[in-house]
Amino acid sequence: MTSPETAPEIQQEIEKTRERLGQTVEQLAAKADVKARARAKADEMRATAQDKAAELSSRVRQSQTMRYRWPLAATATGLAAIAAALVWRQRG
């Protein structure tokens, strides 16, 4: 970077420096805002917990559905076996 020699060049360099300084201050303020960062982390964790709870709830519902279906399937199989035995007995 060359050294500015005229007043307008100096003024322009001062404006650029102020802009960079302002951006740096904003970044530092964001890092120093512990409450906002903690709130954002808490929101993130809450969303993750809600997602996991929904997934677990879905798994439980599926498990309960399967638990209630297998006796029905066993009963149907048993009835089919009895019907087959009766048909076989009548033919024989």
pLDDT at residue number 11 = 92
- What pLDDT, in 10s, does the model give residues 6-59? 888 999 999 999 999 999 998 888 888 888 888 888 999 999 999 999 999 888
pLDDT at residue number 30 = 82
Look at the block and give the residue holding tokens 């498990």: 63
- What pLDDT, in 10s, does the model give residues 66-90? 666 777 778 888 888 898 888 888 8
pLDDT at residue number 45 = 93
pLDDT at residue number 46 = 92
